[in-house]
Structure 1
Amino acid sequence: MRLADFRVTRFQFRRDRVIGDSQVRTDQVHVAALELFAESGEVGLGFVFSLFHPLPDEAEIARIFREEAWPRLEGKDPSALVHRVRRPRGGNWRGYTLLFAEGIDQALWDLSAKRLGMPLWRLLGGEPRRIKAYASGLDYHLSDADFVALFEHAASVGYRSFKVKVGHPDLDWDIHRLDLLKKTVGKAEAVMIDANEAWSPQEAVRRLNAIHRAGFDILWIEDPCLRTDFAGLNVIRAGCPFTLVNSGEYLDASGKRALMEARGTDMINVHGHVTDVMRVGWLAAEYGIPVSLGNSFLEIGANMAFALPEVDWLEYSFQNFDHLVEQPMEIRDGVILPHDRPGHGLALSATARAMAVPTVTATDALPPAPANPRLPPLSGSRLAAAAG
């Protein structure tokens, strides 16, 4: 199997809600599908993102890819590329102008598994088992009514564990949102909170103890302070023995290794880069540190979750992406299920190709947000109205 060609398909569309945290917010999706074609006809799919700003025109994305990435791929065997180890020296290995690396990695692993006719999670050594999906609202900028409506729906379709954004300047606001969640979903199996680096270590200890005294049992606090403040993370761990620290989201593989070496976290948070996740997961197993799968595009990270030891949790955020693929990952009653399709399980849909936006388009010229079959439009709820 040799790589013979590629195709880029650009998308730009509205989100069905504003998402964000204590630091950022966004209401659009900027993503490109990267398809790598093998001589034998198989197609590997990956995704290229820009979280806040539109990607360049499709033709320009393809030009940059052809100049910067394609010379390293053309004519190569995908299965050899996914296992290659490169040592950077000087300028022999540079970052891409656009965030191609994760999409290339996903497409190469997709092809490698298709070559053997097996699901990627099985190629990675995985076994079918129970991995819980927790409902994550990306909810910081939602009104109370929409916050309640989102988690009310999540509970109604079987989710039993939930993650809420915190880190508001007013501690009472954070406690109020946790109280709303409790009133909405009842007794949860687990509640997680995510501050997105909003606090200093001392402030994190103060606030987490206040949340604990208010009667909230928090399974983990995610990214409570600056990502590289390993000493500070250990201050939080020592000062808040009633909860776990989950960190590493904002660190690359080298940074995650340093974090684990410093014993600065109780859990390591990984996402959608297959090779890096597996390498970090292997090291985490050596340290005995559990791994959690944070948001990955269309839950592609489920493949790694099934393949790594001690992964109990996968994040699901009800984002309106499902129309982009023929068959999204299945989550039933708050549990993500292994797929039986060759590769990572995702293939670009005809609907997506018809919705491609080849050129940068102004926000007011974009069509309405694509329907999200997993989350009806947010319009508040009886409980939220009563809460005022």
Structure 2
Amino acid sequence: MTGNDIEEVLVQREGRAGLIVLNRPAALNALTHGMVRRIADALDTWEDDEKVETVVVTGAGDRAFCAGGDIVAIHRAATGGDPGAVEEFWRDEYRLNARIARYPKPYVAVMSGIVMGGGVGVSAHGSVRIVTGTTRIAMPEAGIGFVPDVGGTYLLALAPGELGTHLALTAGSVGAADALRCGLADHFVPADRLPALLDDLAELPVHDALERHVEAAPPGRLDARRRWIDACYAAGTVEEILDRLRDSGEPEAEQAADRIAANSPSAVKATLAALRRARALGPLEAVLDQEYRISCAALATPDLAEGIRAQVIDKDRAPKWRPATLGEVEPTVVARYFAPLGERELGLAAPRPLERW
């Protein structure tokens, strides 16, 4: 069997569970447009299937649940390819994210290994999110000149205090305990117990299956950093955040400042604005509508293509951002990320009814 013959998403029923396996282990199960459509089709089929009481989503291989979207295709679109194809991928992907969040049956995501970007979108909106000792969750978009999407700004905006702002601006990752603390996951199950958990999910109600395997996660790292994280990231601008981090006297805060300063200045400023706006937007669908505007705008910026080149294509880790400094990012540059799209809007959020006098 050739690589092209391998199904990128395996869909089958195991007892009372509908099982979805992201099946591109060599690519860390990164999502293609076809995979998004296949998952959506399975959810449609199983919603009215009385034999399927639970949906379970896993990733093939030992390294990753899902490392994100098909970033090479995005690079092609950002460097002269067809942007319409990527925008259509995002439309379907964000609609799937919203669908998962509202799915009427238990949606169990087994978030073992690497979970980044689009992988967060097909897991962390589910009703049951399981992490293991190998889990590393991140929304690393600012490091490639992009802004957290797939509902990432919604999830990070809901994290306690300023933890979500810290993760978004630094493009940092967290393990199991910190994912639980940030509200990105619900339960910890040791990795070696996953096969038995999957067997039980095929035979038992979700609560009963979890009760057999859930344990307390090993200690995380964020709780010890909450004091300076909440104080520093509450500032109104990225520049003020960096000043507070560098003046805090905390070596880890200084390291966070260095990581933020290495990311795309435009993307970092747009990310902070997106998070602050997300807190006031309300439901996930409204935030996804905003993220779609941001993503489409980012596709036309030089930093997205340059960030993917530096981190993924050439891997020289030396992006040349334009503008190169935070001070050069004018308010109009940030505003461009939020500009209405007219007929191209995603339109997931229901229009607000007119007020009656």
Larger relative helix fraction: 2
Larger relative strand fraction: 1
Same fold (TM over 0.5): no
TM score, norm. by length of structure 2? 0.26
TM score, norm. by length of structure 1? 0.25
Structure with higher Rg: it is 1
